[in-house]
Amino acid sequence: MNEIAANDRLGAFCRHAHADRKGAAGGPLAGLTFAVKDIYDVAGVKTGFGNPDWLRTHAAAARTAPAVRMLLDAGAHLLGKTHTAEMAWNLTGENPHYGTPINVNAPGRVPGGSSSGSAAAVAGGLVDFALGSDTGGSVRLPASYCGILGMRPSHGRIPLDGVAPLAPSFDTCGWFARDADVFERVGRVLLRDEAPARAPRRLLLARDAFALADEGAEQALAPGLDKVAALAGRRETVTVGDQPLAVWLDGFRSLQGAETWAAHADWVTRVRPRFDAAIRDRFERARDIPPAEVERARAWREEIAKRADDLLQGDAVLALPSAPGAAVARDSPRETIERLSRHALSILCIAALARLPQVSLPLATLHGCPLGLSLVAARGSDTLLLAIANRVLGGP
């Protein structure tokens, strides 16, 4: 184990997975260090997936995940694997088996999940950037909570071979950075896209998403919105959902649960792993979702995607809060977490259902803690968001 991982005082790096790999001698990421969430395979290392029984019952990886390989080939140095919330199915980043990484920018509060270790490592300056994953918000929310940049790409843009799945039709490979130029350089490598980025033409304010934010959040985000509006030239207010976003969330949960059960039912049934009570309850509910409900949700999802495509045509970007508010306290009561899940996932499910790219920009604080402003673009317009992030945050 290298010195940085060995001396990690943030609880970000895994102790059960020593993955230190030098990158290529040259490349666009030469001289940069990174970490990867412990759902990505690294050859010769076990992937733990946030659960000791998963670690125990799976062999070391035979190959390195392509997403990790691309970063190594681009010259970056992998320092290690970072903790994930159990089975990557948690919004706070707390893990009863391995502990909760420290959020240096909001002491005493959660880092956000499930890419908690990766976000904590970047925020704490342990690495230059890190890979996470985003199914329902597990890059965007911790980016907001930790005060760093975070990206969920268009679904399918970055290969997920060698990555433990949660819900495959929602899963994406996302990343974090503190510096906007590094953030864009990493994105260009992962997206394999060097084409010049277009400029946004319209900024759309998602009224129904902002309505779910905590008191004071919209006011805190206003200066950031002004910066983005100065690039776009036009600003208008829109309603994203044809129904309340809480209804969209219900459909998302049905699909996510069914896919997660399909992906892991055999292992759960055979191994009977030791799960935290909340994760156990989610698997039990997922097991019992009626197939007819899932089929309805699948068809309805395509209507949502079409609505989003129409809304974002012509290089429009949609602005919304990355999270309802500041990070909640560690070890918050269950009712606080349930409220967070309802409000946060109602906002975060928009991009997930419509398969859209979304970036979280660290442009505000609320109650002395970070709060991110999110921008969503049309499918495939990932580099548009990277360019906006670089311009707004002072990059070249």
The pLDDT score that the predictor gives to residue 266 is: 98
Q: What is the spatial distance between Cα 321 and Cα 211, in angstroms, rounded to a whole number?
A: 10
Confidence tier at 288 by pLDDT (50, 70, 90)? very high
Residues 181 and 278 in one domain: no
Residues 330 and 238 in one domain: yes
Give the range of the structural domain holding residue 77, as residue numbers without chain letter: 12-191
CATH of the domain at 91: 3.90.1300.10
346 tagged catalytic: no
pLDDT tens, position by position, 132-175: 999 999 999 999 999 999 999 999 999 999 999 999 999 999 99
For 321-339, b/e burial (b = at least 16 CB within 10 A) is bbbbbbbbebebeeeebee
Residues 67 and 181 in one domain: yes
The number of beta carbons lying within 10 Å of the beta carbon of residue 193 is 14
Q: What is the spatial distance between Cα 163 and Cα 161, in angstroms, rounded to a whole number?
A: 5
| Structural domains in the chain (count) | 3
Residue 100, pLDDT above cutoff 90: yes
Residue 198, pLDDT above cutoff 90: no
The pLDDT score that the predictor gives to residue 223 is: 96
In a domain, 5, yes or no: no
Burial of 223 (0-12, 13-18, 19+ CB in 10 A): exposed
Residues 241 and 339 in one domain: yes
Arithmetic mean of pLDDT over the chain: 96
Residues 184 and 272 in one domain: no
Torsional class of 108: left (φ above 0), alpha (ψ -120 to 50), beta (otherwise): left
Residues 101 and 233 in one domain: no
pLDDT tens, position by position, 38-54: 999 999 999 999 999 99
Residues 239 and 263 in one domain: no
Residue 240, pLDDT above cutoff 90: yes
Catalytic residue (choose from 46, 81, 114, 254)? 114
Catalytic residue (choose from 115, 116, 133, 138)? 138
In a domain, 240, yes or no: yes
Structure tokens at 373: 């402003």
Residues 128 and 229 in one domain: no
Residues 238 and 252 in one domain: no
Residues 281 and 307 in one domain: no
Domain boundary residue, one of 191, 226, 254: 191
37 tagged catalytic: yes
Contacts with 196 (C-beta within 8 Å, 6 or more apart), sequence order: none
**Can you tell me the mean pLDDT for 244-249?**
96
Residues 224 and 82 in one domain: no
Residues 144 and 217 in one domain: no
Q: What is the spatial distance between Cα 330 and Cα 25, in angstroms, rounded to a whole number?
A: 41
